[in-house]
């Protein structure tokens, strides 16, 4: 299932609306150096009717401006006092009682602690959590890079993962986290660098100790420094090795010098655990007190960094991929001061025209009040998220907000200030605008090239008089102030579940549909998730059918954009997308107004018509999407070929692009009745909703889709249910497919080695997952770090329609795919000893880690819903999968696991079934010509005709039942 968004994310369809039809978004840089209002418009050639942009621009633009205004001028006056208070707080006792503003549903405990070294910490205790997490934000980012050593801050971030004086084993931190059910990462932004991890709760203290050593005594050996520069090479070798050497600089010494900026007075730490606050505090005081406070100054820009010469500009750049991109931005007063409060000319003119409309129409307090209500509801009924997400979100507020508002940030506006709103509107002027326009049209006309990615561009002045001309030419008929939002929820009461329902159950079944239902028993939020899966077997029987279905879905989403935008603002989300056997509608959010949105979607589907102007725009966008696949990374291309080889009725992109080029509005209109003439609805409703309401929703959908006079949808018999299956590879045979990369300007090559193991089976599943847990980090360490084969090197479990496999991927400029494939084989040979010599203690440790991961509870309704729907969609229906697999894990013997490895995974195993896809980049064309000329080795098979090969192989059975039956085995 394509993930349905929780309210903090954007659904596929809303994302399309915002990308293709203009969304004003705020680019929030770190700190208070500068702020931009940014208007981004992708695929502007597709916007044949630019007036449609305004309808989606209005509410959010108004809200972004209003959010800046809540505190008013008093915020500026109070800022110096607030900073003084925060400075005083840094010298306060180790523990201070803060009354945090928090969501009504939040049961966690919080404590602010300042260590003697001035490290400010937020401690979070959650007795219900399965995972612990921590995040350290350091107020040093890429703006702090020394001149001539650009990228040093990001490179330091990478180096801290290697080893420390206390834990000198290379990659010891990553290995420990991975082996104990966790994940870790970091990122470098303009003004900060953030490090974060999560881990099973039982291993938190030791993981936290390893994490703390990043900031106490990292090793950063000369050898590791050089290997990491090579591993991440994308200009890095020149900027961090060649050029510094030419200047007589030792990069390791520069790295150590730069590390001195990592001072506790520039750090904030968030720690999230299951233990009590006292216990967590003892961890933090013991493990983090040795970090040095060298009283470093943070990066500050004392005034507006952009002068007049940097504004009234249009920057024209040539993108790599097809499609146009437009960004209009204005530098405005930094948001943190007020945290409480084609057609290119037509589009720009329209934007300025709308700004004028806002100024002329005046500021409306009811819009502010409406959006305050929306944000208060979202804050108080926010979904609980994974600890790793929570700590990374909160740490960013600690630098900028008073302690009591760390949990809130800018989420709860409180003061209406029309003067401040007008001030921001005045700053959105033609004199202050900066425009970035990317288009292939500029080839041959640019005069500059940026040094890192060699992007060609030119900079031209754009005068206010030019913009005034665009304003005069721009269309106006759809510009208007927003109307009251009908989707704002009023009834937030919780429905009473009359009986405890543990798993989804079939509530209703007819020849037209089947309804799976589950009330919310865990999260107590006024939200619901609904999935309507349209099973239409005729949507996939040819390339023409596939692209017709795709364009049908794109048009539906396009027609709904203007209507559904208010729904998205009010916390209702939807997505419509094509599936392998039809298309699917997902809606989620507050249940109060959900039926209004769902009813509108179903009526659009039932009354679908092809609008030629929008058809042409979206067809053009779809063509570019297909054409842009050739610019995708080689490992993505290799994964595509894997799917093309494995799956039945999978059509190649070239055939779909050809069919798309011939598709016209009238042919789509004629094809749709045939396409939809056989349909069955698989429905899933989960959340704050009673059974009778769920039943009535599906009945209403049936009536709308099937029982209207003009409906083209007809029922289908069980025999017409489309079953998707995967080919079975042959035991002890290694199949391989070698092909040139689609973009020979990309020097990277890639190999994906796919080892097919079994059809979904609980006992086999846990053995395969256990092997991946044990092998993943050693594989990445061996192939990426030790052998330096490439930055991308990974091993993981893959599932296609219930068929489980092991997959290893490498992408490299250093070696060709044949060599990479051989190194993967060598890794498995080397790792055979590791498996056979696995101690009982280590085996039990890995098993416990996997058990802990499987017992991890869903954090919110969407996660639980996604799991259950995935089981229904796949036909596996193992709703108690986690606990049943845990029971098997507890009984699993080491000898059984080793036997599984020897039978399916090791090189030469009697039931090893292997497919190696090798994509040769521009740097390895000579190796490609040599490889295709070589004779096949014993027990190998070269695939030259994908579809001939597929027809020669048997298929795995399907796990999915049809509309008339459910398989429960």
The string of pLDDT tens digits covering residues 501-538 is 899 999 999 999 999 999 999 999 999 999 999 999 88
Q: What number of other Cβ atoms are within 10 A of residue 732's Cβ? A: 12
Under the banding of pLDDT at 50, 70 and 90, the label for residue 321 is: confident
User: Tokens for 11?
Assistant: 């659904």
Compute the distance between CA of residue 579 and CA of residue 679 in angstroms, rounded to an integer: 13
- Supply the mean pLDDT for the chain: 84
SS (H, E, C) 740-752: ECCCCCCCCEEEE
User: Tokens for 400?
Assistant: 């900028």
Least confident of 469-478, 653-662, 724-733, 739-748: 469-478
What global pTM score does this model have? 0.82
Report CA torsion sign: 729, 734, 739, 741.
positive
Torsion of CA 490, 492, 498, 503, to 10 degrees: 120
Domain ranges (residues) in the chain = 109-289, 310-382+408-473, 505-720, 727-860+872-956
Least confident of 306-320, 635-649, 947-961: 306-320
Least confident of 70-74, 229-233, 702-706: 70-74
Instruction: List the one residue out of 146, 141, 158, 83 whose CA is nearest residue 262.
Output: 141
**Region 799-828: what's the mean pLDDT?**
95
Between 471 and 661, the more confident residue is: 661
Exposed / middle / buried, residue 10 (Cβ in 10 Å: 0-12, 13-18, 19+)? middle
Question: What is the pLDDT, as a whole number, of residue 120?
Answer: 95
Question: What is the pLDDT, as a whole number, of residue 52?
Answer: 32
Question: What is the pLDDT, as a whole number, of residue 343?
Answer: 67
Least confident of 188-202, 254-268, 439-453: 439-453
pLDDT above 80 for 969: no
How many angstroms separate the first and last alpha carbons of the chain? 22
SS (H, E, C) 138-196: ECCCHHHCCCCCCCHHHHHHHHCCCCECCCCCCCHHHHHHHHCCCEEEEEECCCCEEEE
Question: What is the pLDDT, as a whole number, of residue 477?
Answer: 66
Question: What is the pLDDT, as a whole number, of residue 95?
Answer: 61
Between 640 and 48, the more confident residue is: 640
pLDDT above 90 for 738: yes
Count each helix (H run) and each strand (E run) in the chain, helices first. 31, 26
Catalytic residues: 157, 228
Question: What is the pLDDT, as a whole number, of residue 341?
Answer: 40
**Region 882-902: what's the mean pLDDT?**
96
Q: How do residues 210-245 score in pLDDT, each as one tens digit?
A: 999 999 999 999 988 888 887 776 577 778 888 888
User: Tokens for 702?
Assistant: 């049936």
Question: What is the pLDDT, as a whole number, of residue 333?
Answer: 61
Between 819 and 443, the more confident residue is: 819
Between 918 and 412, the more confident residue is: 918
pLDDT above 80 for 923: yes
**Region 682-711: what's the mean pLDDT?**
93
User: Tokens for 181?
Assistant: 């059910």
Question: What is the pLDDT, as a whole number, of residue 464?
Answer: 84
Compute the distance between CA of residue 372 and CA of residue 638 in angstroms, rounded to an integer: 48
Question: What is the pLDDT, as a whole number, of residue 523?
Answer: 92
pLDDT above 50 for 75: no
Question: What is the pLDDT, as a whole number, of residue 325?
Answer: 79
Least confident of 35-44, 706-715, 738-747: 35-44
Question: What is the pLDDT, as a whole number, of residue 63?
Answer: 31
Compute the distance between CA of residue 375 and CA of residue 413 in angstroms, rounded to an integer: 8
Q: How do residues 601-618 score in pLDDT, each as one tens digit?
A: 999 999 999 999 999 999
Question: What is the pLDDT, as a whole number, of residue 961?
Answer: 66
Domain 505-720 class, CATH top level: alpha beta
For the domain 109-289, what is the CATH superfamily, name and number?
Answer: Metalloenzyme, LuxS/M16 peptidase-like (3.30.830.10)
Residue % of the chain over a pLDDT of 90: 57
Task: Provide the 3-class DSSP secondary structure of residue 21.
Answer: coil
pLDDT above 80 for 17: no
Under the banding of pLDDT at 50, 70 and 90, the label for residue 963 is: low
Question: What is the pLDDT, as a whole number, of residue 392?
Answer: 92
Least confident of 52-56, 109-113, 554-558, 569-573: 52-56
pLDDT above 70 for 60: no
Fold of 310-382+408-473: Cytochrome Bc1 Complex; Chain A, domain 1 (3.30.830)
pLDDT above 90 for 809: yes
Under the banding of pLDDT at 50, 70 and 90, the label for residue 758 is: very high
CATH number of 727-860+872-956: 3.30.830.10
The CA angle 854-860-861, to the nearest 5 degrees, is 105
Least confident of 6-20, 362-376, 736-750, 913-927: 6-20
Least confident of 12-16, 192-196, 729-733, 901-905: 12-16
Under the banding of pLDDT at 50, 70 and 90, the label for residue 96 is: low
Question: What is the pLDDT, as a whole number, of residue 5?
Answer: 29
pLDDT above 50 for 91: no
Question: What is the pLDDT, as a whole number, of residue 159?
Answer: 92
Compute the distance between CA of residue 36 and CA of residue 25 in angstroms, rounded to an integer: 9
Least confident of 49-63, 338-352, 948-962: 49-63
Between 76 and 380, the more confident residue is: 380
Residue % of the chain over a pLDDT of 70: 87
Q: How do residues 537-595 score in pLDDT, each as one tens digit?
A: 888 889 999 999 999 999 999 999 888 889 998 999 999 999 988 999 999 999 999 99
Q: How do residues 855-874 score in pLDDT, each as one tens digit?
A: 999 999 999 999 999 999 98
């Amino acid at each position: 299932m394509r993930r349905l968004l929780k309210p903090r994310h954007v659904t596929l369809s809303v994302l399309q609306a915002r990308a293709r039809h203009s969304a004003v978004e705020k680019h929030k840089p770190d700190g208070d150096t500068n702020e931009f209002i940014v208007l981004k418009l992708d695929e502007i050639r597709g916007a044949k009717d630019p007036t449609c942009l305004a309808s989606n621009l209005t509410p959010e633009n108004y809200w972004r401006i209003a959010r800046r205004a809540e505190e008013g001028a008093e915020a500026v006056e109070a800022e110096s006092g607030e900073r003084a208070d925060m400075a005083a707080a840094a010298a306060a006792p180790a523990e201070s009682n803060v009354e945090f503003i928090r969501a009504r549903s939040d049961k966690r405990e919080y404590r602010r602690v300042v260590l003697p070294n001035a490290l400010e910490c937020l401690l979070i205790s959650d007795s219900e959590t399965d995972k612990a997490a921590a995040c350290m934000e350091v107020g040093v980012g890429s703006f702090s890079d020394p001149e001539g050593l650009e990228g040093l801050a990001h490179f330091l971030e990478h180096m801290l993962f290697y080893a420390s004086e206390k834990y000198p084993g290379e990659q010891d931190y990553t290995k420990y986290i991975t082996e104990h059910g966790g994940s870790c990462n970091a990122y470098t932004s303009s003004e900060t660098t953030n490090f974060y991890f999560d881990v099973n709760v039982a291993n938190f203290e030791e993981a936290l100790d390893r994490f703390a050593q990043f900031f106490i005594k990292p090793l950063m050996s000369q050898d590791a420094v050089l290997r990491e520069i090579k591993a991440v090479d994308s200009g890095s070798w020149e900027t961090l090795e060649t050029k510094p050497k030419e200047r007589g600089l030792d990069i390791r010494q520069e790295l150590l010098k730069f590390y001195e900026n990592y001072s506790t007075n520039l750090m904030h730490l968030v720690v999230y655990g299951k233990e009590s606050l006292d216990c967590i505090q003892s961890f933090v005081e013991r493990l983090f007190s040795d970090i040095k406070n060298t009283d470093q100054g943070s990066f500050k820009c004392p005034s507006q960094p952009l002068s007049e010469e940097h504004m009234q500009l249009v920057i024209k750049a040539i993108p790599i991929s097809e499609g146009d991109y437009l960004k209009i931005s204005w530098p405005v007063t930094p948001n943190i001061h007020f945290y409480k409060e084609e057609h290119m000319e037509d589009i720009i003119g329209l934007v300025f025209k709308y700004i004028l409309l806002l100024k002329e129409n005046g500021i409306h307090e009811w819009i502010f009040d409406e959006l305050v209500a929306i944000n208060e509801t979202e804050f108080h009924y926010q979904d609980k998220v994974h600890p790793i997400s929570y700590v990374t979100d909160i740490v960013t507020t600690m630098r900028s907000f008073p302690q009591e508002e760390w949990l809130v940030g800018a989420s709860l506006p409180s003061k209406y200030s029309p003067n401040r709103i007008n001030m921001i509107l005045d700053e959105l002027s033609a004199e202050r605008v900066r425009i970035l326009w990317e288009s292939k049209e500029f080839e041959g006309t640019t005069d500059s090239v940026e040094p890192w990615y060699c992007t060609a561009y030119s900079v031209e002045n754009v005068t206010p008089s030019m913009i005034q001309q665009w304003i005069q030419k721009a269309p106006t008929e759809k510009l208007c102030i927003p109307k009251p939002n009908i989707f704002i929820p009023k009834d937030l009461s919780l429905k009473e579940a009359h009986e405890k329902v543990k798993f989804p159950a079939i509530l209703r079944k007819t020849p037209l549909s089947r309804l799976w239902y589950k009330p919310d028993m865990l999260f107590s939020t006024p939200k619901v998730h609904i999935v309507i899966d349209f099973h239409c077997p005729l949507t996939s029987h040819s390339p023409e059918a596939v692209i017709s279905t795709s364009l049908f879905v794109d048009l539906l989403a396009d027609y709904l954009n203007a209507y559904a935008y208010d729904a998205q603002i009010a916390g209702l989300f939807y997505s419509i997308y094509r599936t392998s056997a039809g298309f699917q509608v997902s809606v989620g959010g507050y249940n109060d107004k959900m039926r209004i949105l769902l009813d509108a979607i179903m009526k659009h589907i039932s009354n679908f018509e092809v609008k030629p102007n929008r058809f042409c725009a979206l067809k053009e966008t779809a063509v570019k999407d297909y054409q842009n696949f050739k610019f995708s990374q080689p490992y993505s291309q290799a994964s595509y070929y894997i799917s093309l080889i494995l799956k039945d009725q999978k059509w190649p992109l070239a055939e779909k692009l050809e069919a798309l080029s011939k598709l016209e509005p009238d042919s789509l209109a004629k094809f749709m009745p045939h396409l939809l003439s056989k349909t069955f609805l698989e429905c899933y409703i989960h959340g704050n909703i009673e059974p009778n309401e769920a039943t009535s929703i599906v009945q209403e959908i049936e009536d709308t889709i099937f029982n209207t006079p003009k409906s083209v949808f007809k029922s289908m018999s069980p025999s017409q249910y489309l079953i998707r299956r995967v080919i079975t590879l042959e035991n002890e045979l290694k199949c391989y497919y070698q092909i040139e990369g689609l973009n020979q300007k990309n020097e990277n090559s890639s190999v994906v080695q796919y080892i097919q193991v079994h059809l979904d089976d609980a006992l086999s599943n846990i053995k395969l997952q256990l092997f991946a847990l044990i092998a993943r980090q050693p594989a990445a360490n061996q192939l990426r770090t030790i052998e330096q084969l490439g930055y991308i090197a990974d091993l993981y479990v893959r599932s296609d329609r219930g068929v489980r496999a092991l997959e290893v991927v490498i992408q490299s400029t250093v070696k060709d795919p044949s060599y990479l494939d051989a190194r993967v084989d060598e890794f498995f040979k080397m790792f055979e000893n590791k498996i056979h010599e696995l101690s009982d203690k280590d085996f039990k440790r890995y098993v416990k880690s996997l058990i802990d991961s499987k017992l991890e509870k869903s954090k919110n309704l969407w996660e639980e819903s996604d799991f259950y729907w995935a089981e229904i969609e796949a036909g596996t229906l193992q709703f108690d999968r986690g606990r049943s697999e845990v029971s098997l894990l507890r009984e699993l013997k080491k000898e059984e696991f080793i036997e599984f490895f020897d039978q399916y995974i090791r090189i030469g195993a009697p039931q090893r079934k292997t497919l190696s896809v090798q994509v040769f980049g521009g740097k390895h064309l000579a190796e490609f010509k040599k490889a295709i000329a070589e004779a096949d080795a014993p027990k190998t098979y070269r695939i030259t005709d994908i579809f001939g090969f597929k027809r020669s192989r048997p298929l795995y059975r399907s796990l999915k039942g049809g509309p008339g039956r459910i398989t429960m085995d």
